[in-house]
C-alpha cells in the first residue's frame, strides 16, 4: 500500500503530516495516496531533500530594468488573457471585458 499525504483541496503542494506550518490556514484537507498526486509539488518543510526545479532568469541588457522581469529579449513569453471589469466606471460598464497582454516566464505561461 502506498504512503498517504495531505493535500488542501485547492492547494498545489502536498504535505507529510498535519503539524506542518504550511497547513496552518487550510481548513479542508484531504488524505490521498502518494501515487494519485499528479503534478503537485512537495512541501519544502516536510520534504527538505526533495529535488527542486531551478529556473534561470536573465537580466535584460536592452530594457535595463532594476529587477529581473521577463521581456522579449531575455526569454519571456507574451501571453494574452481576458480581464473582466468588476464595477462600472465613467468609460465602461460593469461586466465589460478587455484583453490584456503580459510578458511572463515560460514556466508560468500555462497559468494564463
Same domain, 86 and 111: yes
Strand 13-15 to 4-8 pairing: antiparallel
Same domain, 24 and 60: no
Same domain, 79 and 107: yes
Domain contains 82: yes
DSSP class of residue 106 equals G
104 vs 57: which has the higher pLDDT: 104
Domain contains 51: no
The alpha carbon of residue 91 and the mean position of all alpha carbons in its chain are separated, in whole angstroms, by 33
Domain that holds residue 83: 56-112
Same domain, 62 and 27: no
pLDDT recorded at residue 15: 83
32-47 residue pLDDT tens: 887 787 767 888 888 8
Domain contains 48: no
Number of domains into which the chain is organized: 2
Residue 40 has a CB neighbour count (10 Å cut-off) of 14
**What is the distance between the alpha carbons of residues 93 and 77, in angstroms, rounded to a whole number?**
31
pLDDT recorded at residue 39: 64
Distance from the first to the final alpha carbon of the chain:
37
Mean pLDDT of 65-85: 85
pLDDT exceeds cutoff 80 at 64: no
Determine the number of helices (DSSP H) and then strands (DSSP E) in the chain.
0, 6
- The mean pLDDT value of the chain amounts to 80
Domain contains 50: no
Amino acid at each position: 500500500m502506498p504512503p498517504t499525504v495531505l493535500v488542501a483541496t485547492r492547494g498545489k503542494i502536498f504535505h507529510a503530516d498535519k503539524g506542518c506550518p504550511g497547513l496552518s490556514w487550510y481548513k479542508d484537507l484531504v488524505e490521498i495516496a502518494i501515487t494519485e498526486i499528479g503534478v503537485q509539488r512537495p512541501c519544502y518543510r516536510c520534504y527538505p531533500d526533495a529535488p527542486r526545479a531551478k529556473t534561470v532568469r536573465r537580466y535584460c541588457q536592452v530594457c535595463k530594468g532594476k529587477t529581473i522581469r521577463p521581456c522579449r529579449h531575455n526569454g519571456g513569453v507574451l501571453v494574452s488573457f481576458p480581464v473582466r471589469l468588476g464595477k462600472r466606471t465613467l468609460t465602461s460598464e460593469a461586466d465589460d471585458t478587455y484583453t490584456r497582454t503580459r510578458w511572463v516566464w515560460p514556466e508560468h505561461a500555462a497559468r494564463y
